[in-house]
């Protein structure tokens, strides 16, 4: 039986130095099956990005566990955690974080450097992903591409290693409404094709109609105490 793409249990996090007894993140349970897509909403500064960083293992919680494809990510340390993240988690950021000075195809190839994909296949794989996502200038540098094209490169990079889970942090915030609608459908369809679970966080109300499963941070897990803790927590 396949493990869930994402499983969270009793997750608790408080920013270092915060004196409040309330947790910044208090999440009892959250699970995503392989291929499942979910929108997680909350107001700006309510910990959405922090939660994604916890899930990706970029920061450690004070309590609780996060498992990706059956592996507790916080049980891994140093290079082992980095390798696991690179091979199992794709990340799409609001500001893309593309490598300037490198071409679009090189940006996608960079994501495969710590993967198990043979090095000889990296370029062909990257070119195929970019073509599928509508990038017909794979040798162009990010600064030579439109904002919408840059996001497509970011999506290709996130999917390059066939991740089990894709995390999207306000992925349409830099786009106008028309391009935002196109972009989120692109992300959803690309994840669907590869059976990758998608967890998208956003405070954009227009996103709600595009996801069948919608949750609100502070309510997931149906824990009123946790919800209160999140509402009272310090903001980012």
> What proportion of the chain, given as a percentage, has pLDDT over 90?
61
According to the model, what pLDDT value does residue 50 have? 92
Go through the domains of the chain in sequence order and give each one's CATH number: 35-60+75-216 (3.40.50.300)
Query: Averaged over 84-105, what is the pLDDT?
Result: 92
- Express each pLDDT in 2-14 by its tens digit: 689 999 999 999 9
Confidence label for 22 from pLDDT (cuts 50, 70 and 90)? confident
Residues 33 and 5 sit within 8 Å (Cβ to Cβ): yes
CB neighbour burial string for 17-47, b if at least 16 within 10 angstroms, e if fewer: eeeeebbbbbbbebebeeebbbbbbbeeebb
87: CB partners within 8 A, 6+ apart: 114, 115, 116, 161, 163
Please give the sequence-ordered ranges of beta strands (E in DSSP) within 93-216, or none if there are none: 165-169, 197-202, 213-216
Check residues 21 and 58 and name the one with the higher pLDDT.
58
121: CB partners within 8 A, 6+ apart: none
Give the other-Cβ count within 10 Å of 120's Cβ: 7
According to the model, what pLDDT value does residue 226 have? 37
Q: Tell me the sheet residues that pair with 6.
A: 32, 68
According to the model, what pLDDT value does residue 218 have? 66
The pLDDT of residue 151 is above 50: yes
Q: Of 93, 8, 92, which Cα lies nearest the Cα of 55?
A: 8
- Express each pLDDT in 165-216 by its tens digit: 999 998 888 778 888 888 888 899 989 998 999 999 988 888 888 999 999 8
Length of the chain measured in residues: 236
């Amino acid at each position: 039986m396949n493990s869930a793409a994402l499983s969270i249990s009793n997750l608790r996090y408080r920013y270092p130095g915060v004196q409040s007894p309330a947790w910044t993140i208090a999440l009892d349970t959250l699970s995503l099956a392989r291929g499942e897509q979910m929108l997680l909403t909350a107001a700006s500064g309510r910990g959405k990005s922090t939660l994604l960083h916890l899930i990706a293992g970029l920061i450690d919680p004070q309590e609780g566990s996060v498992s990706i494809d059956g592996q507790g990510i916080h049980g891994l340390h140093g290079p082992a955690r980095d390798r696991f993240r690179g091979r199992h988690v794709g990340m799409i950021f609001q500001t893309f974080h593309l490598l300037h000075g490198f071409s679009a195809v090189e940006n996608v190839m960079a994501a495969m450097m710590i993967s198990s994909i043979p090095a000889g296949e990296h370029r062909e794989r990257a070119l195929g992903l970019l073509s599928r996502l509508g990038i017909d200038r794979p040798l162009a540098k990010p600064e030579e591409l439109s904002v919408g094209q840059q996001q497509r490169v970011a999506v290709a990079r996130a999917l390059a290693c066939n991740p089990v889970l894709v995390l999207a942090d306000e992925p349409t915030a830099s786009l106008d409404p028309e391009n935002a609608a196109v972009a989120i459908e692109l992300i959803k369809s690309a994840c669907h094709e590869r059976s990758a679970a998608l967890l998208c966080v956003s405070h954009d109300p227009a996103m709600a109609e595009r996801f069948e499963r919608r949750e609100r941070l502070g309510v997931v897990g149906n824990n009123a105490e946790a919800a209160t803790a999140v509402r009272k927590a310090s903001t980012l």
